[in-house]
Each structure stands twice: as C-alpha cells, then as structure tokens.
Amino acid sequence: MPLLDANGYRADPWIRIAAGEPATGDAVLVGLADLPAVIASRSNAQRIGVEVANTVRAADLGAFLGQLDLVAIAFPAFNDGRAFSLARQLREAGFKGAVRAVGPVIADQFTHLVACGFDEVEVPDAIAARQPEAQWRAALASYGATYQTGYGAGASILERRRALRAGQGAAS
C-alpha cells in the first residue's frame, strides 16, 4: 500500500507488529492492547506507533500520547467520519506526532484529512490504482478556505466575513 503525505508518495518506515509478537525494529506500529508492554520495553531510539479503531476515544490514548510518534486511525469505510473527529481530538489534546489514516479513504477527502490533523494516508492498492498520486495532490490543493472555525490554517470564511463587516462598519 502506498503511503501518501502532502508531498506525495513516500516509503513507509513503520513495521507492523502482530499482537503478542516482540516489537523489534526502529519504528514499530502495534495495536492498542500491546501498547503498554511495548512502551515499557522500548529501547531508547525506538519509535512507537499505535493503530486504533475509529471508535477509540482520545482519552483512552491520553496517558500514552507523549510517548507515541504515530497514531494510525482506521477508517472502516470512506463514509465513516469518526476518524476525522478522533484526529482532531488528538491534536486538541496536544499530540505532536504523526497521525495516519488507514483504510478506504478517497482523494476527495484529503484536504479534510489534513485540516483535521492527519499527516499521512495509507492508500489501499485498489484506490491507488483508481486515484493516482496526481489526483490526491490536486484534491489537496483544491480548497483554499473553509467554513469551520479552527479547521486548517488561517481564518475561516465566516471569520473573514465578520472581519470585513467590522471594517466596513468602522469606516461608515
């Protein structure tokens, strides 16, 4: 599966570790059940990531966030948006590591993924065959403004309108 970020496809340095298996490697991605044991036995330079369902609460990861380098959130279907909320909650909780979307998301969602706090997308092979890298990059560049406050960079459309009205009212 290709790994995509805002710059395009790149190599995936993370090694998925099956449940109960030893977490060896420089960058390991484990399930939530194995996370406490892996953190307890981590080597100094080892990077740790966790893959979670979109039904996990950000509070369930709270105690681990400072020790994680990656949180991979599963999308069971492209039309199940709970992972967007979880990514946003992780960012609001102060998580500074990478957030990855895993599952059947589509290029049209890329801008929204990035705006909610995702850094990268693990694109399933079937979707990558239908939607090449250029389509994902074009989708990311297609939106310059949003209606949601605090969604992405810069002021929202509504904040910009309020500022313009305030400026016009002051000039009159």
Q: What is the pLDDT of residues 76-135, one digit of tens each?
A: 988 898 999 999 999 999 999 999 999 999 999 999 899 889 999 999 999 999 999 999
129: its two tokens: 């065959």
Between β-strands 120-122 and 98-102, what pairing exists: parallel, antiparallel or unpaired? Answer: parallel
Comparison of pLDDT for 72 and 172, the residue scoring more:
72
User: What span, in angstroms and rounded, lies between the C-alpha atoms of 147 and 111?
Assistant: 13
Q: Give alpha helix (H) positions in 22-108.
A: 35-40, 58-61, 82-92
Tally: H helices and E strands in the chain: 7, 8
- One-letter amino acid at 51 equals E
Query: What's the average model confidence in pLDDT over 60-86?
Result: 94
